[in-house]
Each structure stands twice: as structure tokens, then as C-alpha cells.
Amino acid sequence: MSGFSAAASAAAAERCALAIRARPAASSPATRQQASLRRSAGPRRSSTFAASRRGPVAPRAVATPADRASPDLVGKFTLDSNSQLQVAVNPASQGSVTEIDLEVTNTTGSLILHWGALCRDRRDWLLPSRRPDGTAVYKNRALRTPFLKSGDNSTLRIEIDDPAVQAIEFLIFDETQNKWFKNNGQNFQIQLQSSRHHGSGASGASSSATSVLVPEDLVQIQAYLRWERKGKQSYTPEQEKEEYEAARAELIEELNRGVSLEKLRAKLTKAREAPESLESDSPASQITVDKIPEDLVQVQAYIRWEKAGKPNYPPEKQLVEFEEARKELQAEVDKGMLIDQLRKKILKGNIESKVSKQLKNKKYFSVERIQRKKRDIMQILSKHKHTVIEEQVEVAPKQLTVLDLFTKSLQKKDGCEVLSKKLFKFGGKQILAISTKVLNKSKVYLATNHMEPLILHWSLAKKAGEWKAPPSNILPSGSKLLDMACETEFTKSELDGLHYQVVEIELDDGGYKGMPFVLRSGETWIKNNGSDFYLDFSTRDTRNIKDTGDAGKGTAKALLEKIADLEEDAQRSLMHRFNIAADLVDQARDAGLLGIVGIFVWIRFMATRQLTWNKNYNVKPREISKAQDRFTDDLENMYKAYPQYREILRMIMAAVGRGGEGDVGQRIRDEILVIQRNNDCKGGMMEEWHQKLHNNTSPDDVVICQALIEYIKSDFDISVYWDTLNKNGITKERLLSYDRAIHSEPNFRSEQKEGLLHDLGNYMRSLKAVHSGADLESAIATCMGYKSEGEGFMVGVQINPVKGLPSGFPELLEFVLDHVEDKSTEPLLEGLLEARVEIRPLLLDSPERMKDLIFLDIALDSTFRTVIERSYEELNNAAPEKIMYFISLVLENLALSIDDNEDILYCLKGWNQALEMAKQKDDQWALFAKAFLDRIRLALASKGEQYHNMMQPSAEYLGSLLSVDQWAVNIFTEEIIRGGSAATLSALLNRFDPVLRNVAHLGSWQVISPVEVSGYVVVVDELLAVQNKSYDKLTILVAKSVKGEEEIPDGVIGVITPDMPDVLSHVSVRARNSKVLFATCFDHSTLSELEGYHQKLLSFKPTSSDITYREITESELQQSSSPNAEAGHAVPSISLVNKKFLGKYAISAEEFSEEMVGAKSRNIAYLNGKVPSWVGVPTSVAIPFGTFEKVLSDGLNKEVAQNIEKLKNRLAQEDFSALGEIRKAVLNLAAPTQLVNELKEKMLGSGMPWPGDEGDQRWEQAWMAIKKVWASKWNERAYFSTRKVKLDHDYLSMAVLVQEIVSADYAFVIHTTNPSSGDSSEIYAEVVKGLGETLVGAYPGRAMSFICKKDDLDSPKLLGYPSKPIGLFIRRSIIFRSDSNGEDLEGYAGAGLYDSVPMDEEDEVVLDYTTDPLIVDHGFRNSILSSIARAGHAIEELYGSPQDVEGVVKDGKIYVVQTRPQM
């Protein structure tokens, strides 16, 4: 069925329309008057109820008698889930009273009607003289009348006898719930028009009806037009009825806006030829309707599109938008606006040029994009590393005050624990409040250096703000108990000749939260900056680090203590603070990175409102901005001279704001007066704010201004004002805390709306120009230059453009500003990044106005992060390629914001390559992208750790000195990270990781050691921290960090981690050998769920690629018969054979034997000549067993031997700190001449270079490397490992295998039986770029991994691309490898416990995998991996058993450096 049926038309014709007029809570008087005049312009008789703007209520028929009608129910409204408001009006006949009856159903409390009357000639409420009983006048602006309770309902009747009253407006207040009821956020309004306004005398319902009928023929036309607009679709009968009623409602809305019925008919008949039933001589045929010019329709459509956030519209939606725009303009014309007036109204700013640009490009409703320049991303490379060097400046010991001595005297008491402590300052003196616990007794001490007679007026509190008199049994001697407090005299005392006064109070166990107090000296009361002093008992004091030996460790301690000494002066005003900061810049610079960090921490505490901004000091805005300008000038100069500090300096500048000389700050003072004068708002909140601005402007004023703007935009919803303030950290208490407090709420009139929005918007520019370091508009304006005259804002201000800006840069910034609110964020993000890249060369140089460019870059960065967070919704259902592109953009933005971005840039290059692979449908794209996603995560974790190490010690020490809230100190670094691009990037990666794992078929787990286990879950931060612990019950660790070199603790049968140690790392091998479950969990939700099982019993069942788990009972655990149940406690039965020195200091490979060297040396000698010719084996010699002991016993080393013997005795007493001291002692050994001669002879005889031939220094390097190998016998991991299996550590003997290093392109480790699956037909191998130390050592990231079937060695299968960010490379050199008699014992995996040390230090290189042929060249990769697999297979065949093989690749050739049986 199509179109509309006659039946539906007939049904619709039975209904009459109720006239509705939507009206905001406080429209302007002019609007009211015009609306009233329009309503009275025709013969309309209506009783109307003003509903919300959301739309009309359903029309219904209404009729009344001619003389006095019975009350008409004009509306029902739901107040809450159980309560409804019903309003009935009994209209007045000539000279009588109009009655309005209100009834609220199901009420529980007492209700108040807050109301007033509306008259044509008044802008505010009239307060009628005829009022119900109990009515009170509220502030001469409204009436408040109580409802009467009637059963479950509340009722009220209002009588209006004033003929001038056209309507009443009201709100309802529930006193019991302290809750206001509104009509969809607006005032309720009841229209009172009656026959007395329109004449009367005709009888019958038709003449006195309270509603106007909408002619049914017009409803039919409107319904038809709606049907046409919707594409003439088929409707069901129910839909037809809905369409008719919707059409009727649209026409009623037009009439309510004041459009006459004649104009409405003319409009409809012009839009559509009238049906035949319309007469040609009707009034419509004689009405001319103004035609809307097409150019205005296009402009209005553009404005609608901008307001919607510039979404991408399909063609059909574009047509709808044009028609909607036309309708909006026609409605304005119908209300009486002339076309010229309409044109003037909407053609503001550069809107015409924007529209013409779209029309010219034929890109209707589509967002333009900038064309990003093609450039090498490495052009933005920066390699300024943050090196933390502890302060070396000699600082004279700080003179201890009497209060410092008093604190120390308490801490020296046996068992005394300081629980909380706070130092207060008053009038140049100090009072120290300390709560302690000694032998379960709680005490409070108050000590002061104020030596005049002093009274402590104090109480105790169980909740904030409470004053509660203490119990009489705890009062100090001589105290006087009052109603709510107690008074105690201070007692004079002395320490080291210094005098002080003290009060000591012993508390009972009363559950007190704190102690409020004030002081009295004679008749003078002493308070804490106008408030009570308060010592909080509930927060344990972790800020006593100042009193410990580690106080200030890792900080610029002298600088921080100087800041603390100057803080009281800094609190006077922001002018004082910024001038003090400027004075400290030189000292901070001299202290190095930690000095700059110290200034940042201080300024950050200020910016986050942890420090007082103003105290009893009035300062002009221009004085604040001048001080800011001075401080930021100093920061600018340091930015130019010290590129390694730029990242931190940007953070400081962003927190401080721009400032400015002369009238920049003065504008804040002057322009608020302009706002008040222009908008007639000189009292109340605006006057209070004006006083604050004149005396103490601060960054809070930016927030207050924004809150006012949002409040006005919301049609004066006061909750919006408070929400905006609270979201930005400003509470009512903070407003009241200003020296010039803000007590009042804003209260504006509707006619002030447009003017205030205009003026406050301008004023915001001035506020941000001074206070905001990250405001985009003001930063762009400052760099581009501007000149403003008139209107009282920025009068006479002229700022010239920055010179030397790139070509096209102004247009780029204009694009950014034009699109900053777009809903489609991708073009804007590209524009922001392009702008940052364009100005980067200037930021690396020293331009004349560097500071303005820095603030522009800060603003671009800040806006980018805001826009990215706004785009999350856009990415919810986006294709993988789009999410990858957004990650690429965020990576680039991060690279532009940090001083050392090499790793991030290589991540970006790899990620862009993965994106191209995805676009080309490469079947490896997800696996490739996963490796780079993991590498990006490592980079972010490394950055977070760097920030923590760099900033947190300063935050903790300065926080302790300044008594900053402990929660703010604890989260200091976390908040810095959360506010930067790294947090945004991390969030995007977390979203995308499951997508990659799904496409690459990786699952949520990598099972490294597949063992079925049951035990208690224990959550730990680091496996390293518990590796020496022994668990007394079967334990499965969920460890947040696993590096790869740790031991598995005793009692542990499983380890689950989000970290990604290599499958062949030490801890992985150890887990497999010990039959311990070991797996990486990639899914954050699964990991969180497992952490929630802390201390609960779980059973884990792994496969090669997945793990299932379930909670079990204690009885199920006991019944478990799994063979691994005792794995965590098993101790293998093994022993060491004591090795003796056999007379030789050095031997060649031909002399290697079990008595002389370990398995590592013997295996490498065995391979020589037996492996295929294409496999190289490096030449080797060895320093045999017993040599270390022989050297130690030499007379040359008598003192070293004695020292080591003493240290070994301490170790026997379980003083494990001796381990490190033994290692240091070993390094003091001198080399016997015979050792040097024999080693030289063997090395030269084997064709190896002798280090001494290059000079004595080279031999000393070699000798030090040998001693480091011997010393590794006492490294913690090896010592505890042998101790765990009860090996006699004294019997552990260390030979040293000496080999020439092959300067490797790649290094590899092979297990000739797949260790994860146990498949003996399959080889598993891992490969890294550079030396193998990054593979076997605890270097972050994963190696490239692959498997290869032994019956198809030409077809290796890649399992994962590498994510290790670092490669190690070395020149031609010698390596000295550990070769102990404890490394390859059966049943004990000792390999990797001891150190191999190269003679020269390796160079760490940040790796770029996008240029590595092993990654990008499939043929090369297949050849190398196949060769590695063949070498492993050949060695396994040679030994006849599975092998663990290490080797390197150099120029395509395979070298094997060692092999051992696979454990």
C-alpha cells in the first residue's frame, strides 16, 4: 500500500488541535511581547499550556459552556517514577477570576510552588496581590506557596484576578528530598488567555472553544509533503495515523510560533498544488510568500553541517539537509523577518567564502583535507637522552632547628613510630604537630619555637569539621575543659641549648580521626591562614624521608630544600611564585636534569592546586603576567642552550602559561569592566569575580569564565555552571577560599544572553593569553599576529607575525582552527601533525620569538591529544586499517614531543610498513604488526619507567617538605604519563591487540612450558623480587614482570605473566626443566580475572596454544595425582666433583679434557672438523679448572685472599650482602707472570690475536674480563640456584673458554626438539640481530622465532617477527666464556647462570627492522633460517641426541659457538 488512505484521513479529521507554544525558562521580554501580540492578532480563543521545547503534546477536543466553564485539564506531567503533576484551568469570564488547580499525585514530603505571573509589559515576574494562604515572598522576585496534603496527593489552587496577567510560570520544590522539579529542564508555564481578551457574547461551544481547529485539508497537504520527502514509501495503517498526527503537530507548532492560518495555507498551497477541495478564491490565492534565495539555503545548510560536527553525508542525506535548511529560513521569514535581514543575520565572518569553496570544489557536506608533504620521517630524529646524574654539589649541612631536634629526639625513643606529622607556620614562627605510637600507646606532641606564653585551644574529631571535647581522663595536667574543647598551656623546654615550648597528650582508644586546634597568646587568637589548624591521624605519614639517611636521594636536594624555604613567600601571590622561580633557574640549570625536574615538580604541584596561589596579598594582573613573562623568558633561553632538557622545559611552560609584558595582563583587569558595562551585570557574582580578577587573577579564572559560558549556553541551568567548575577542580569551598571570595551564583536575564556570550568569548582570549600554556587559539593568534580595535576587547593590541614561518603555514593553521570542532577527526589530526612537523626546524634552531613557537607547539600537541580522545567513538566500528592509521598518527605526535625519539621513530616506520601490508592483503601483515605493537608497548613502558625514576623521587621529597597531600605525591608520575600522548597510544594499542591476535591466529596465550598444575594463585609485581623466596604450599604466580634471567622460586609450580620472555630464555628453560607451567597471557581481561583469584585455588590445563582454568576445592587439590604436584619442591640428587689445578694456566683445544674444562669447551672442540664445511667453529683456548684458586693463593694476592676468606665466612652466616663484596674483591687480583706468558703462547699458537700486542691497556682489559667471569661464581642468581639443589658451592670450579668474537650480523639459539610441544620431528629456533647476548640475557622484547620440520629443512615456518628494540654489536675482539663444572649436570640446568664477558664493551644500537633483509626480503630470510635449521640438525645427528645450540651468522655464513644437550 502506498500513499494515505481515505479511512486514515477520516479518522484524523475527528481530532481537534490543542494549541501549544514551547517557551524556554527565561525568554526575553521582547520575545514575550512579540509572541503575545501575535497570539492576540486574530480571532483565536485558546487556553494553552506551555510544554517543553521537545515537542507538542497529543491534541484533543476541548469545549466549555458560555458562562463559566468547568476546569479543563490542560496537561499531565511525570515528576518522577511514582508522581505526576496535573494542571486544570477554569477560565475567567468577563471581570471574573481565573482559577488554576494543581495536583501532584503520590507525594511523600511537603511541596512548595515557586511561582510568578507574566505580563505583556514586564520583563520579570509580577507577584500577584491575590495569593493563597501561606504564600511567602522570595527575594522580591518570586512567590513560594505550600501545597496542601490530601491523602497521598498534594493540591493547590491559585486565583488570578488581574486582567494584565497572561500566564503564570512556576517550579516545584520538594523540601523533604531537597529536589527541584522542572518541565524538561524549563519552567512550567500556563497561559491564561480567555474571552475577556478577545470579546465574548456568542454562546455555544463553537464560539467559546479553548482550542483552534487546524483545517483538515491542510493536515492532508502537510502529510502528503512529508510522504514525498520520505521517498513515497509504503505505510501500514498504523504508520499512516502516526504520519497524520505528526503533520498536524508540525502545523500546530507553526501556529504557535505566530504564523497566521492564512500564511500557513499560502505556504502549503505554494509548495504543493492544493487538492480540488480547495477553492481558488480562498485567501491563500491572494497571499504572496517570499522565496528564499538559493545562496542563503546553501549557507544555512553549511551552518547546520558545521553544528553537527561536519559529518560525511551521503547524497540522499545532503538533499534532506538542503530542505531542512530551507524550512528553517522560511520559518524566520514567516515570523516577519525580511530577506535582507535574514541575509545579514547568517552571513557572518568568512562563512560565505567557506560555502563558495565547497561549491567550487563540488564537495558538498564533505570535510576538506590538507595534503601532507612527503618527507623522510627520520628528519624529526632527536637523540638527546635523559641522563640522571645525582647532584654532586657540595652542600653545607643544614642547620637543624629546635623542631628538627625535637623530631629526632622522638624518633630515637625505643619503639616510637611517627604516624603523622605536619609543620605549620604563623607570624615568622612554626608549630610542629606529631602523632606517635609507643608500645601501643598513642600520643600527640605539639612543639613550637614561639616563646611567648601560649595556650593550646584543642579538641578531638571523629569526622571532618568536628570539634569534640576530649574525655577528662586524657587531659594534660593543668588543662581546662570547655563545652566543645580544652585549653592547655604550653610548657617551656630546651634541646642542645635551643628553647621551645611543648604540649604532650596521651590519647585513649577513641577512634579519633584528627585533632583540630587554634592558639591563643594573651587576647590574640592565632589560626592557620584564617582556618583551624588540623592534624590528621587517619593518613599514615610516609613523608618522613627528610629525617632518614635516604632523604632526597635521586634529587637535586639542595634546590628542593631552598624551594621549601621560599614557599611561604611564594604563597603570597603568583607574581611572587614566578619571580622566585625565575631566580632559581640558574641553580636548577647548574644541578643538571634533576634540577630542571625539581622546578617542574614544584610548578606542577602549584598547577594542580596542591600549593596556595594567593594569601593576604593583592596584586595587579599585569604584575602577574610580567612575572610569568620573566620566568618563561628564562625557560626559553635554557630551551635554546640545552636541547637535552627540552621535554621537561615544555612541561614547565605548559603548566605556567604565557604571561606577557605591559598591557597583556592589564587587559584582564580592564575588560571585565567592559563586560559589566555592556551587559548591565554589575552586582552579585560578576562583581565578586571582578574584585578577584582585579586583585588576584589566576588560572582558575579561565575555568570560571568557561563555566559562565556553558551556563549561559544551557539557557541558564545553574547545574551546568557547577558541573563545569567541579570537573576542572574548582569547588564551592575553593571559590570561598579566595582572598576576594566568590559567594554568589550567576543570575542573568535572557536578554543578556547574546551579549554575554559574545563578550565572555572575547574575554576568554585575554585570560588564556596570560594563564593558558596550551590554548590553541591564543597560541595561533600570537604567532600569526593580530590587531584589534574597538568593542573594549584587546583595544589597541597589535602583535606582529613571527618571522620566517614556512610557506603556506598561515593557511595550515587556519585549516586547523576551522576544523577543530569537527566530528570527523582524521583530517584535523593530519593538520595538527603537519603543523607540528612544519615548525620543528624552527624549534631546533634559535629564532627570535622561540617562546611563541614553543607555546604554539604545546597547544598543537595538547589539541591533538584532546581530538584523539574524542575520536574513540569514531573508531568503535572502524576497519583495522583505519585504527592502524590513527595509531600511526599518535606515534608521530609522540615522536614530536620527546627528546629521545629514535626507538619511537623505528616503531613508526615498522607500523607504517605493517599498514601497507594490510592494505595489500599480505598474509603476514598481522604477525608483522603484532611484533611492532609489542615493541611500541615496550617503548611506552620504558618511557614510563624513565619518568618515574626521573620525577618521583623529587615529587616525594619536595612533597614531604611542603606537606603536599600524600595521594597527590603517590600518583604524581602516573598523572604526568596519563596526561601525555603515551597514555592515548596505550589505549589504542589495547583496543587493537585482540584484533591482531585474532587475524594472526595467535590466541590469548603463548604456552612456553605446558604443564598441568593445581595450586594457590599468588599475585606479585616482579618475579625477580621473589626468586629467592620459598613458598610452603603449591603456588602459581601471576607475575606482572618477568625479564628472562630469573630463577623459579621453591614451591612454585606455575608462572603466568603478561611479559614476553623468549622461549629459550633462562627462565623459560628452567621452567621446562623443572616441570613448571610457564605461559604469557596477552589478554588484559583474562589477566585481571586471574589477579582476582589471589590466594584462591585454581587448576590450569594447557595445550600448546591455549590454557583453560577453573577454581577447585582443597579436597580436589589433595586428590590430585598429577606427577608435577611436588615439582616446586623437588630437589635433584646431584653433586659436584672438586677440581684441582693440574699445573697449566692455559691449554689449547687439543688438550681439553673433563679434568681440565667443562662441557662447553669440550663440545666446541669435538665439533671442530666434524660439522659440515659450511658451518664455522671459532678457534678456542681455555684457562682450566683450578686456575682461579691457584692465582688467589699466589703471594701477589695475599691480601685479596684474606679478604675473600672473611667475606666467605660472613656468607656462611647467611649475610648475603657479602656476595657483591666478594665479586668486587675478585676484581683486585693480580695476574701471575706465568699465567700471562702461557695464555699468550696458547692464543698465538692457535692463530688468535694476543691483546697485549696492542698495548698494556688492552691486556688489562682482557685480564679484567677474565676476573669478571671468575667473580660470576658469586652472583646472586647462581649462588641461590646451587644452594636450592644443595650443591657444595666451594666445589664449583670455573674454567674460562677463550674465543675470538665473530662480529655477527645475527645470533641464534636452536633447540633441535621443539621445547613447547616436545615434538622431536621439529626444530625450534630464535634469531636476533647482532650478538646473542640480547637473546640469552634479560633484554626486553622477543626474538624472531621459527620452526622447521627435519624432513623438510628448506621450508622454515615463521612464528613471530622480532620486537627487541636493541641490538649489540662489537668490533673484532675476544670473549671469555664461563665454563663451570656445574653448568651441565644431569637433572640440573646450570647453563646461563654464570657470565661470559667480552674484552671490549658492545655498542647498543636501536634497531630499524624496516631495512633489515631478514625481515623484508623473503628469499634471504628463507635461506638464512633454512641454514640455521640444517646446522642444528647436523649437530643433533653428530651427537645422537637433542641439542641446545648457540651460533651466529656473518655475511650469510653459519658459525656455531657452543652446543650442549637440550634440557
> Which residues touch 1346 (CB under 8 Å, ≥6 apart)?
1324, 1325, 1327, 1356, 1357, 1358, 1359, 1425, 1429
- Amino acid found at 226: R
First-to-last CA distance in the chain? Answer: 79
Question: Do the beta carbons of residue 59 and residue 16 sit within 8 Å?
Answer: yes
Question: Do the beta carbons of residue 982 and residue 973 sit within 8 Å?
Answer: no
* Side-chain half-sphere exposure of 813, counting CA atoms within 13 A: 24
Q: Among candidates 1268, 1293, 1287, 1274, which has minimal Cα distance to 1216?
A: 1274
Within a 10 A sphere around the Cβ of 55, how many other Cβ atoms?
Answer: 13
Taken as a whole, the chain contains a residue count of: 1463
Buried b (16+ CB within 10 A) or exposed e, 260-279: bbebbbbbbbeeeebeeebe
Name the pairing type of β-strands 1175-1176 and 188-191: unpaired
DSSP structural state of residue 1330: B
Cα–Cα distances (Å) from 646 to 490, 636, 854, 895, 976, in that order, read 52, 9, 10, 13, 16
| Dihedral-angle region of residue 729 (phi above 0 means left; psi in -120 to 50 means alpha; beta otherwise) | left
> Which residues touch 1323 (CB under 8 Å, ≥6 apart)?
1310, 1311, 1312, 1313, 1314, 1347, 1348, 1349, 1350, 1429, 1432, 1433
Question: Do the beta carbons of residue 145 and residue 202 sit within 8 Å?
Answer: no
Only one residue has cell 610452603, namely 1032
d(CA 1314, CA 1347): 8
Within a 10 A sphere around the Cβ of 508, how many other Cβ atoms?
Answer: 13
- Amino acid found at 1049: P
Q: What is the 3-state secondary structure (H, E, C) of 937-984?
A: HHHHHHHHHHHHHHHHHHHHHHHHHHCCCHHHHHCHHHHHHHCCHHHH
Question: Do the beta carbons of residue 67 and residue 60 sit within 8 Å?
Answer: no
Q: Among candidates 45, 57, 39, 59, which has minimal Cα distance to 259?
A: 39
Helices 646-656 & 593-607, crossing angle to 10 degrees?
20
Buried b (16+ CB within 10 A) or exposed e, 678-705: bbebeeebbebbbbbbbbbbbbbbbbbb
d(CA 1247, CA 1249): 7
| Dihedral-angle region of residue 742 (phi above 0 means left; psi in -120 to 50 means alpha; beta otherwise) | beta
> Is 386 among the residues known to form the active site?
no
User: Residue 621 burial by CB count (10 A; 0-12/13-18/19+): exposed, middle or buried?
Assistant: buried
Give the alpha-carbon dihedral of 951, 953, 956, 962, to 10 degrees.
-80
- Please spell the DSSP secondary structure of 1393-1408, one letter per residue: SS--EESSPPEEEE--
Cα–Cα distances (Å) from 432 to 36, 425, 488, in that order, read 70, 9, 16
What DSSP element (H or E) covers 1367? strand 1366-1369
Q: Among candidates 657, 643, 648, 650, which has minimal Cα distance to 607?
A: 657
> What is residue 1050's three-state secondary structure?
strand
Question: Do the beta carbons of residue 1039 and residue 1023 sit within 8 Å?
Answer: yes
Instruction: Determine which one of 1066, 1129, 1289, 1311 is catalytic.
Output: 1066
d(CA 767, CA 781): 14
The catalytic residue positions are 1066
